[in-house]
Structure 1
Amino acid sequence: MNNNKSNIHAGKTMLPQKAKRIFCTVTTDLTYDQRMIRICTSLAEAGYDVTLVGRQMKNSIPLAPQPFEQKRISCFVEKGKMFYAAYNFRLFFFLLFKKMDCIVSIDLDTILPCYFISRIKNIKRVYDAHELFCEMKEIATRPPIYATWKRIEKFAVPKFPHGYTVNQPIAGEFNKMYGVQYEVIRNIALVRTLPLQTKTEKFILYQGAVNEGRCFETLIPAMKLVDSKLIICGDGNFMEQARQLVAKNNLQQKVIFKGKITPAELRTITQQAYIGVTLFDDAGLSNYYSLANRFFDYLHAGIPQLCVNYPVYREINEQLPIAVLVDDTSTTNLARQLNNLLHNEVLHSELRANCLKAREIYNWQQESKKLVEFYNRLLAN
Structure 2
Amino acid sequence: MKIVVSAFSNLYTDQRIEKVCDTLSRNGYAVTLIGNDYGGSVDMQRPYPVKIIRQKSTSLKTAYPEFNWKLYFELKKYADKQTILLANDLDALLPNVLIAKQIGIPLVFDSHEIFTEMPAIQGRFTQKIWRFLERKLLPNLQYMMTESESYAEWFSQKYGVKPVVVRNIPKQIKDMVTIPDNNPKIILYQGAINQSRGITQAILATQYLENVIFKIAGDGPKLKEYQQLVKDKKLQDKVQFLGKLLPDDLRKLTKTADVALSLEENGGVSYLYSLPNKVADCIQARVPLVMINFPEMLRVYKQFKVGEIIENHEPQNIADKIIKVLRNGRSYYQAELEKAAAELCWEKEEDKILRLFQQVVAENF
**Would you call these one fold, judging by a TM-score over 0.5?**
yes
Q: Say whether the 8 Å CA contact 1:214–1:279 is kept in structure 2.
A: yes
Note the C-alpha offset of 1:197.
Answer: 3.3
Aligned match of 2:189 in 206, 221, 224?
Answer: 206
Gap change, CA 1:27 and 1:48, over 3 Å in 2: same
Aligned to 2:267: 283
In 2, Cα distance between the equivalents of 1:138 and 1:99? 33
Q: Cα 1:276–1:58, aligned 2, differ >3 Å: closer, same or farther?
A: closer
Deviation at 1:115, TM superposition (A): 1.0
Preserved CA contact (<8 Å) 2:148 2:167? yes
The residue identity in structure 1 corresponding to 2:195 is E
Corresponding residue for residue 159 of structure 2: 178
Identity of aligned pairs, percent?
A: 30
Deviation at 1:324, TM superposition (A): 0.8
For the structure 1 residues 40 and 328, does the alpha-carbon distance in structure 2 shift closer, same or farther, using more than 3 Å as the test?
A: same
Distance 1:325 1:79 in 2: 37
Aligned residue type for 2:162 = Q
SS state at 1:291 partner: coil
| Matched ranges for 1:133-152 at <5 A | 133-140=115-122, 142-152=123-133
* Structure 1 Cα separation of the partners of residues 234 and 57 of structure 2: 34
Please point out which of 51, 63, 69 is paired with 1:89. Answer: 69
- TM-superposed CA distance for 1:268, in Å, is 0.5
> Which of these residues, 80, 98, 102, is aligned with residue 84 of structure 2?
102
TM-score normalised per structure 1: 0.90
1:240 aligns with 2:219: no
Q: CA deviation at 1:292?
A: 0.9
AA aligned opposite 2:222: F
Report what 1:334 is aligned to: 318
Which moves more between the two structures, 159-168 or 36-45? 159-168
Q: Tell me, yes or no, if the aligned pair for 2:219 and 2:243 is still in contact at 8 Å.
A: yes
- Quote the offset at 1:198 in angstroms: 4.6
> What's the TM-score once normalised by structure 2's chain length?
0.94
Which residue of 136, 158, 161 corresponds with 1:155?
136
Q: How far off is 1:60 after superposition?
A: 2.3
1:68 equivalent in alignment to 2:68: no
Structure 2 counterpart of 1:314, from 278, 298, 306: 298
Unaligned runs of 5+ in 2: none
Name the amino acid aligned to 2:77: F
What is the aligned counterpart of 2:60 among 65, 71, 80? 80
What CA RMSD, in Å, does the superposition of the two structures yield over aligned residues?
1.6
Residue 56, structure 1, aligned to residue 56, structure 2: no
- 1:255 aligned to which of 220, 235, 239: 239
Q: In structure 2, what is the Cα distance between the partners aligned to 1:198 and 1:180?
A: 44
- Hey, what does 1:367 align to over in structure 2? 349
Q: Secondary structure at the match of 1:290?
A: coil
Inter-partner Cα distance in structure 2 for 1:184 and 1:214? 23
Contact 1:194/1:301, CA 8 A, preserved across alignment:
no
1:282 is displaced (CA, Å) by: 1.1
- Residue 264 of structure 1: SS of its match in structure 2? helix
Conserved in 1, the CA contact under 8 Å of 2:177 and 2:286? no
Structure-2 residue corresponding to 1:9: none
**Is the CA contact 1:302–1:353 (under 8 Å) kept in the aligned structure 2?**
no
Letter in 1 for 2:17: M
What code does the residue aligned with 1:96 have?
A: K
Q: Secondary structure at the match of 2:220?
A: coil
